[in-house]
Amino acid sequence: MASRRPVLLITGGSGFVGGQVVRKALEEGYDVRVTARSEDSARAITSRFPQYSSQLSSVIVPDLTRVESYRNALEGVTGVVHTASPFILDPADNVKDLLDPAIKGSIAILEAIKRWGPSVTRVVATSSFAAVVDDTNSKREGYTYTERDWNMATYEQAAASADGPYAYRASKALAEKAMFDWVKEKKPSFSLTTICPPWIYGPYAHELKRTDNLTASVYLLSKLVDAEDVPSFDFGGYADSREVAAAHLLALDAPEAGNRRFIVGQEFRYQTAVDLARDSMPELRDRLPVGKPGYVEPGYSLDGSKAAEILGLTYMSLGETVKDTLGQVLRSGHIAAKA
Ligand SMILES: NC(=O)c1ccc[n+]([C@@H]2O[C@H](COP(=O)([O-])OP(=O)(O)OC[C@H]3O[C@@H](n4cnc5c(N)ncnc54)[C@H](OP(=O)(O)O)[C@@H]3O)[C@@H](O)[C@H]2O)c1
């Protein structure tokens, strides 16, 4: 008998964020179809969730910038979560490595849904707080960012920049704007919601067998261990991978979330993270820099309250996030245990 569960298409299921979205969707009872670039990648994803084999399938999308790639992916699909996008802070070529896959990839999936996904009612895309932040004003002391703020970097600036993180941030802003512009112009039968998290920490959905490809945010947090000093302010916010996944799924169903963006995140300072980890992880206490305990470096803040009010998201504590992130990376052997 055919399944009656709603079918969710998830792109980027091999990644850190996508994996948590897949896990949460399976737990919530969806039939999940993941896109992967290769058969190997598809197998790796499905092997992570053996208990859900009857709910999880995959489809190969070799090039996410080509509309035709999705021709066979959308049958019976009622909702789409698009997380696939390069999270690369040191691109060799800003256009090929970042801007093309981020922007063209975002539009290609919308076009494909319009053509082949008549039952899709909501698309939720992973944008970033990078698309919100003012890139000309790095610390912006005293300012609180909301969903009304946009990173105003242009395509030309991003393409020409020698600053990889700047080009990445621009790729997210340009892709998100392009998606909303497309929806405004084409008026499809589905609505779009974007999720804008800052640094995402928290665990992967699966235990880590290899750590050479840790996503940049988790990698940077793991570098606190054995660091000489506490890093200074860079991106003043964080979210937990589990709450980011929850936000994507809540956004699929929340009637008022259509054609809106949501900051999902809370204020972050490295010093606070170090203080919490030193208190809660005795195994790492002597390996974390002390810095100035209790000090909150001046810088901007961010308002993630709309995600709580409109999506119904419950935020976790930074202590839990830091402990679970470092704990998983420690178990993986990426941070060598001290004898
Ligand atoms: N981690 C953070 O702190 C953070 C914060 C805010 C927003 N985000 C956003 O969250 C999303 C996922 O990031 P992540 O941290 O999960 O990174 P990740 O672990 O590197 O995962 C990226 C995912 O996107 C796919 N992807 C990347 N480039 C692609 C391309 N050119 N063609 C097809 N697929 C491609 C990857 O597929 P393969 O496995 O085939 O490479 C992978 O599934 C991205 O949109 C990122 O911008 C991340």
**Cα-to-centroid distance, 244 and ligand 1 (Å):** 13
Residue 119 lies in a domain: yes
Q: Is residue 287 packed enough to be buried (19+ CB in 10 Å), middle (13-18) or exposed (0-12)?
A: middle
Residue 286 lies in a domain: no
Q: Which pLDDT band, with edges at 50, 70 and 90, does 212 fall under?
A: confident
The number of domains in the chain is 1
Q: What is residue 238's three-state secondary structure?
A: strand
Q: Which domain holds residue 90?
A: 7-205+238-266+303-314
- End-to-end CA distance of the chain: give it in Å, rounded: 56
CATH code at 81?
3.40.50.720
In tens, the pLDDT along 62-95 reads 999 999 999 989 999 999 999 999 999 999 999 9
Q: Is residue 58 packed enough to be buried (19+ CB in 10 Å), middle (13-18) or exposed (0-12)?
A: buried
Q: How far apart are CA 61 and CA 64, in angstroms?
A: 6
Residue 72 lies in a domain: yes
Residue 120 lies in a domain: yes
Average pLDDT of the chain, as a whole number: 95
Residue 146 lies in a domain: yes
Residue 184 lies in a domain: yes
Q: How far apart are CA 39 and CA 62, in angstroms?
A: 10
Kindly report which listed range (60-64, 94-98, 208-212, 252-256) carries the lowest average pLDDT score: 208-212
In tens, the pLDDT along 17-40 reads 999 999 999 999 999 999 999 999
**Cα-to-centroid distance, 19 and ligand 1 (Å):** 10
In tens, the pLDDT along 245-299 reads 999 999 999 999 999 999 999 999 999 999 999 999 999 999 999 999 999 999 9
Pocket test for ligand 1, best of 11, 16, 38, 234 (most atoms within 8 A of CB): 16
Residue 211 lies in a domain: no
Q: Which atom of ligand 1 is nearest to the CA of 129?
A: 6
Q: Is the model's pLDDT at 171 over the cut of 50?
A: yes
Give the pLDDT score at 245: 98
* Angular region, 142: left φ>0, alpha ψ -120 to 50, beta rest: left
